[in-house]
Amino acid sequence: MLKKPVIASLVLITVGIIVGALVVSNFSGGVSPGWAGGGDVQLGGPVPVTTVQADLKSLNSAFVEVAKSVTPSVVAITVTTEGKSDGKSQRDFFHDFFGPDFRLPEPGPSQGAGSGVIISPDGYIATNNHVIEGAAEDGIEVVLNTKARYKAKLVGTDPTTDLAVIKIDAKDLQAAALGNSENVQVGEWVLAVGNPLGLTSTVTAGIVSALGRNIRIIQDSYGIEDFIQTDAAINPGNSGGALVNLRGELIGINTAIATTNARYQGYGFAVPVNLLKTVAADLIKEGKVRRGYIGVSIQAVDQTMADAVGLGKARGVFVQSIVGGSAAEDAGLKETDVILTIDGIEVNQPNELQRHIATRHPGDVVVLSIFRGGNIIEKRVTLKARDEDTRTVPASEKRNEKEPDTVSPSIVQLESLGMTVRSMTETERKKYGVENGVVVSDVKQFGEAYKRQIGENDVIVEVDRKEVSSPAELRKTVESRKTGESVLLRLKRPDGTAYYTAIQVQAE
């Protein structure tokens, strides 16, 4: 039998153990369940979706696999410039698209960054011309996805497509698989891989939102813009990086963004990979691009122009002028021809024709389907190299043998066209280098002539391919047309530039 002091001691010890256990459980591990109830901490809730559709799983897996496979083929590029300012160069125009972080030439050395894509296991890398433009000798550094660093040498550049190729001394690199940009479709999923804003190996996703974009960013009269447009996020530093499809194939080189705040706003642009293939092959083989040229000045055909030339439906590209001694002249192309197809492929925008020609070399033969005078004819054109001294062939301007029309008024107001014309003086004929024509003396704001970009002091020398010598002749032709019908005009600007335009007759 235990004595009372012993029992009291045991009670105290038992109480102490219980309190100690409570204290330890309360303070030894994060959150306490409280004194009432006790038990383990329960964080989070049940999984809301217990089954995921197979196609969604496949799409998710595709994104993951493409990211894994493509990222090793994309490199970071750092460029040190020589610091020689070249004034209003192409870099200034890209600054408008890439904002204040884009590298500009300044006094003294400076650095900029971009991306590149490995296109061969032995170290050839594609990027943008504007990424490496102005690089100092030994000023291009490449960092691989493995963090390995290399000095790169410049192989060659092509400013007309904003592409360039550099090379590092490395072997067994993982080259990107090159796809076929002719197969790209609006709406398909794509991933952009690059190094935006200093964040290496970044992958973003979106869709192809448009094809054949011309955003007028390449400041070269022979510039070729046929960009793939995407809403995958592209920011400064993405330039030269990869745009790939869900097969992991390279379909474009990310080049520019459209923005008002120097950051991503939903629209990015990539050079199609088929153009890259031709440019890169030429640069690697010869250090320069051997590109064939037709030698035409062209514009898109809208419905007004289609009506004026008798085409019916707006399609093809209209030939404004022919370059003297060019492949086009040799093949017998003429002003006012409408090129419908090249090698069986429809062309409805100037850059579509340029894109096809840009993949060909001097000596290659292309077949054009042409609409002329109500008939469709075929022309085989042997492309030539570009001659920097070629000139646009002036249209034939024969001497008008008619006596001056002394009865007709010297000024005629053409309300249906939204402009006023007057007779030319002998001094003006000499100045413009023409033997006939009428001067546009006034253009009504927002009228038809205004919409067709006819300017004051332009000279109308032909209407529907026939010479016009007086305001009265022009008025007679216009009045013979019904409202809604179109006429084809050939004009000369004060700077000597000749051009065609079509204009629709409106109700007065």
Catalytic residues: 130, 162, 239
Cα R_g (the chain), whole angstroms:
34
Distance of CA 342 to the CA centre of its chain: 21
Query: Hey, what are 253's tokens?
Result: 């080189």
Concatenated DSSP letters of 416-447 = TTTEEEEEPPHHHHHHHT-SS-EEEEEE-TTS
Q: Do 165 and 258 touch, CB atoms closer than 8 A?
A: no
User: Which helix (H) or strand (E) element contains residue 274?
Assistant: helix 273-286
Strand 177-178 and strand 110-118: the pairing is: unpaired
CB atoms within 10 A of CB 183: 11
CB atoms within 10 A of CB 255: 31
Query: Hey, what are 498's tokens?
Result: 């000749």
Write out 309-348 in H/E/C secondary structure. Answer: HCCCCCCCEEEEEEECCCHHHHHCCCCCCEEEEECCEECC
DSSP state of 456: T
For the chain, the 3-state helix, strand and coil shares in percent, each to the nearest 5, are: 25, 35, 45
Write the burial class of residue 453 (CB in 10 Å: 0-12 exposed, 13-18 middle, 19+ buried).
Answer: exposed
